[in-house]
Structure formats: structure tokens, C-alpha cells
Structure 1
Amino acid sequence: MPQLTYDEVKSAAARIAGQVRPVSLAPADSDPDGARVWFACEFLQHTGTFKARGAANFTAAHKEAGTMPEAGVVIASGGNAGIACAWAAARHGVPADVFLPETSPAVKVAGLRALGARVHQVGTEYSEALAASRAYAADTGALESHAYDHPLIAAGAGTLLEEVAAALPAVDTVIVAAGGGGLFAGTAAAADHHGIRTVAVEPEHSRALNAALAAGAPVPVEVRSVAADALGARLVSPAALDWAQHPGTRSVLVPDDAIVAARQHLWDAYRIAVEPAGATALAALRSGAYAPAPGETVCVVLCGANTDPGDLVPR
């Protein structure tokens, strides 16, 4: 049995119904090769990313079960998962402590503080923040959440695909950015049920899923990418690797310059301002890393917009 199942995604969808914004779909410009491309505008989600789905599922499940401690919840994050955790905790009156690297974008740190989270900046990489968050949990009794490697988090992320499949029944392929693999695992679990292909896209130098596929097991990787603040996991989740080994999925890599170009294209052509991770899935199409067949209906997930748009070039 898969480490993450469709039934878990369905349970998450029922649990968070009414708590998250349904995904908006928008048609992209015509593809010259005849594919039909749609954008899933998940950057419009609460907290600016899909992470709100998993955080809502995790927090609600523990509140329902009576397993949320007085010390609240603690998480390590590059920024987006922490913002989502703080948002979900605040909705339930739960304290939230968020550990993140000192290199995290200022816009994400400000967002956390605005939500009332206690912010702890440690080290320069996610792995250092994670170690510090685990020590904090051991000292205080706070409940550990995770940015991606938890079934409730991944199942919550997968509810996005349920909405895409309902709104766009003709979809053949969904393309998502992959960091630690929570969005990919949840999406793939739901997509498999609907007969939809899932393509995971990673930066060339932040490729935890792709490297795990090559090795046959999660292996540590270097992290060096313009999208590293959101896609900077050194180790992919076992559930993501499990689904990546399924015949209905693909793993592709894109260079940083393709991510930067895709992000700029979204601004130039659509006036959509996303963070680099939010443009990574589109980079696979524009760079040719994933080439759809003529007539294929493709949904590209624009997964987050916690960014300072000041570096987008006006045109």
C-alpha cells in the first residue's frame, strides 16, 4: 500500500472544507505545439501558498483528536510552511513557534510576526532550523509539525488536485514544483485516482526527489538555487519517493535561469507576481524539460507568491 493514500486526501478535503479558498483556474495563452495549458492559481490561497491546506488539516485533526498540547505547535520552515502553520494555529487559538534560517526572505519573516508567531531564526539552512525546532519541542512539549514530511500535511496539499480534477475534468497532466515532496506526494496520490499524470519539477541544484529516484532511497543533496528558500529540502520524504516510483509520475529538472525567466514571463504576460518556487513548474514547460503532446491538457500549479516583486523588471 502507498505511504500516502487517496483516502487520506479525501479525509483531508472533508476536514478543511470551508477553511481554505478553492483553487482558481485560468487558461494560459495558446501553446504553439497544440497543448492546452491552464494555471492553478494557488498563490491566491490563504497565506499566499498551498501550504495553508496541509497546515489546516494538521491543526484541525489534532484539535479534533484532543492531541494539541497547551504548548502549541512548533515547525521548522524556509518560510512558507511556517506562515501556514502560524495562520492555522491562530485560527484555533493555538500558540505557534516557527524556526527558520537567518537567510529567509524578510517578507516571510514579517508575515510570520504579523500572524502572531514566535519567530526563531537559526543557521543558514532549513536543516539547522529543523534541528533547533526538534530541541525546542523536546524541551517544551510543543507538538512538532513538519514542512512536508507528514501524512496530514501531504494529504492536505493533495486536496488541491481534487479541486483541479472537479473543475477541469479534461486535465491529462498536472505539473508541480517539488521541494521536500509534500505537494507532489499529495497531488500524485489524488491524481493517480483520477488517471492524471503528475510531473514533479525541481531546480537542477536542489533535487532531493530526483536524486532519491536515482539512488532508490532518500539521499542528502546540496541546496543551491534561486528557489532554495521554498524548494531547499536536503532530503525528500519517503512518501514522495514512493509516488515518484509510480508509472503515472515523472521527475524533471530545470536550471535557475529558466525559473527566473518563467517568473518574469508570468509578470510580463499576465501581471502575476510569484516567488521563484511559484514559477518553477512553469519553467518545465517553457524550457522544454516537460514537452506535452499535441492536444494534451496541462495544469501548471503556481504554488506561492510570498515574494518581494521589486526585482521583477517593468516592461
Structure 2
Amino acid sequence: MINREDVEAAARRIDGRIRRTPLVEAEPGRWFKLEYLQHAGSFKTRGMMNKMLSSAIPEAGVVVASGGNAGLAAAYAARELGVPAEVFVPVTAPAVKVAKLGKLGAKVVQVGNEYAEAYAAALERTDALFCHAYDDPAMVAGNGTLALEISEISDTVLVAVGGGGLVAGVIAALRGRARIVAVEPVTSCALHEALKAEKPVDVRVSGVAADSLGARRVGDIAFELATDAEIDSILVDDDAIIHARRKLWDDYRIVVEHGTAAAYAALISGAYRPAPGERVTTLLCGANTNPADLG
């Protein structure tokens, strides 16, 4: 099982290649980890960089299936390391993410309407290093490095969850040191349903955050860690997510994806109610979005 030592090793490996993103106190006891300022716009760059630096990469380079952010992270890491990258995304992937993939130099292949279909197509590429978007030990350990940067001020960490690659890393880094709360949309809740069923299960995926949190099944690593650590799991609806994203813009001029806003939605909707004096850190983990509707 991945633990803090794995995360610390990843932090040493990727040091100097990722940004140590800002941590700001938005109001007394309420912190934001501004991970959306990471290279390529999300926490996944940490995981992808760790994966590639700890792997033997063939001449064909790397291949990844993604709703968008994992692909951007892989494209960025591959460009920095000088290897080819091919990214499979569903045809429903936001245009802003697809365009950015091209700018980062990746070959983009659009297949199917959901991540699961793009994933199946990517697996057919057997000559390249397959980099799983979330269910990979090196990815999880790399993702968890952001948690090392908040451990001293966090009693509770709110984490938006799709496939579980981020929450797994946070658990590995902070279990026994902070309360970890997984937050998912009602319409895309693979971890929540897995915890209820006591095993990973397929779920239907829809809603405003499906492009980044729309994993049909939670990763085995995340399920194992979440079950063993007995973390909290809560749900928020689309209205709460939309309101949270708008409020981040209105109050702080922070532009994030709907998936990212899910974590903040738990706090401002009352789905999660902190105790008096509890220090809560919300991970704002990705910003690859079209801000046109925030004007």
C-alpha cells in the first residue's frame, strides 16, 4: 500500500520540475491550495512527472487516456523530458483542453463519448509507455506531493474526486495527520458508490463536472486506501458546484473547472460543516476551463 515514504520519494524525484503552488488563507481557518497554478493547469503534472521519471520510456514515447487534465499533464511532462506523447480523449472533451494539448506538442486522438472509451482505445497502443490517468502507484505518489505542502496547517482537507488519483495521494501523505474528505458530484460518484458496495463498481456519469470527475469506476488504489483509512465521502449536486465556481470567481477572482469547484461546494453548501476552530484546506486542483460564462 502506498504510504508517506513513497510520496516523499516522489517529491525528491520531481523537485525542480514542478511548482510549489501557493497556499493562501482566504478567511480565518479556511485555506485554499492553489494547485490550479501548476504547470499544465492541474495537480496531475506532479503524478505524470513522477511516473515518467521513474520509468523506462520506449522510443515510441508515452500514451495516456484522459478527460483532458491527465493528457495535458502527460503532454507537458513529455515535452519537458523530450519524449513523444499521444493522448486519447473523448469527443466530449472541452475544446480548451484539446487545443492546449496541441500547443504542448501531443498527438491527440478523440474517441468515444466518455473517458472509458478513450481508455480502451489507448490500451491498444502497446509500443509506448501507458500512463494511467489515476490508478498507478507512481501517479498517486506524485499527486500526493501537494499534500506535503499543506500538512502543517490542515486539520481537514477537502478533495474533489473522479477516478481517485488525487485523494489516494492525499491519503498516503496525510493519513493520521489530517481528516480527509472526498467530495463528488451526485451524478459522478464512483468512489462513494464503491465504498457503499465495498468494492469498485461501474457508475453512470453525467453532470457539469463530468469532463474532469467523470470516471466510470474508481481506481483500485484509491478504493484500497480510502477503505483502509475510513475517510469521509460526501456528495454535492450540480447547482452547488456551479454556485461554488461562480463564488470563487466573484469573491476571489479564481477561475477553476467545475470539477475543482466541487470541493469548495461541500464547504459553502453545508454538505461539510467544520467544527469551531477547525482548519480546513480546500484543494483547488485544476483550471483548464473556458471562463466565458464567468463574465
Q: Which moved more, 1:83-92 or 1:242-251?
A: 242-251
Corresponding residue number in structure 2 for 1:263: 245
Q: Structure 1, residues 203-234: CA drift from partner, whole Å, max 9, x if none?
A: 00100000000011000000012010000001
Whether the aligned pair in 2 keeps the contact of 1:73 and 1:94 (CA below 8 Å) is: yes
- CA apart distance, 1:29: 3.1
Residue 17, structure 1, aligned to residue 15, structure 2: yes
Equivalent residue, structure 1, for 2:128: 142
> For 2:159, what is the secondary structure of its paired residue?
strand
Aligned to 2:258: 276
Q: CA deviation at 1:248?
A: 5.5
- Measure, in 1, the Cα distance between the counterparts of 2:110 and 2:142: 26
Whether 2:117 is the aligned partner of 1:128: answer yes
> Is 1:211–1:219's contact at 8 Å kept on the other side of the alignment?
yes
SS of the residue corresponding to residue 28 of structure 1 reads strand
**What amino acid maps onto 2:50 in structure 1?**
N
What is the Cα deviation at residue 170 of structure 1? 3.3
State the 1:28 CA deviation.
1.5
Task: Among all aligned residue pairs of Structure 1 and Structure 2, give the percentage whose two residues are the same amino acid.
Answer: 55
Identify the residue that residue 161 of structure 2 maps to in structure 1. 178
Determine the structure 2 residue equivalent to 1:221. Answer: 203
Alpha-carbon contact 1:23-1:164 (below 8 Å) kept: no
Q: Contact conserved, 2:192 with 2:233, CA < 8 A, in 1?
A: yes
Cα distance per residue 1:124-150 (max 9 Å; x no partner) = 100110010001x23xx1111011010
Q: Which residue of 1 aligns with 2:144?
A: 158
- Cα distance in 2, alignment partners of residues 180 and 186 from structure 1: 12
The equivalent residue for 2:33 is: 40
Corresponding position: 1:84 with 2:54:
no
Distance 1:170 1:254 in 2: 25
Change (3 A) 1:247 1:144: closer
Residues of 2 paired with 1:206 and 1:188: CA distance? 21
Counterpart for residue 52 of structure 2: 59
Distance in 1, Cα, partners of 2:144 & 2:247: 27
What corresponds to 2:170 in structure 1? Answer: 187
* Structure 2 SS opposite 1:116: coil
Is 1:273–1:309's contact at 8 Å kept on the other side of the alignment? Answer: yes
Match of 1:244 among 194, 217, 226: 226
Partners of 1:225 and 1:148 in 2: CA distance = 20
- Partner SS state of residue 22, structure 1: coil
Q: Cα offset for 1:27?
A: 1.2
Aligned equivalents of 1:48 and 1:170: distance in 2?
24
1:173 is matched by which residue type in structure 2?
T
- Following TM superposition, the consecutive aligned residue runs of length 4 or more in structure 1 with deviations greater than 6 angstroms are none
- Cα deviation digits, residues 224-251 of structure 1 (max 9, x gap): 1201000000110111112222455211
CA deviation profile, 1:187-211 (whole Å, cap 9, x unmatched): 0111115x11111100001000000
Picking from 177, 193, 205, the partner of 2:187 is 205
Mapped contact 2:175–2:229 kept (Cα < 8 A):
no
Counterpart of 1:276, as a letter, is: H
Q: Where does structure 1 lack aligned partners over 5 or more consecutive residues?
A: 31-35
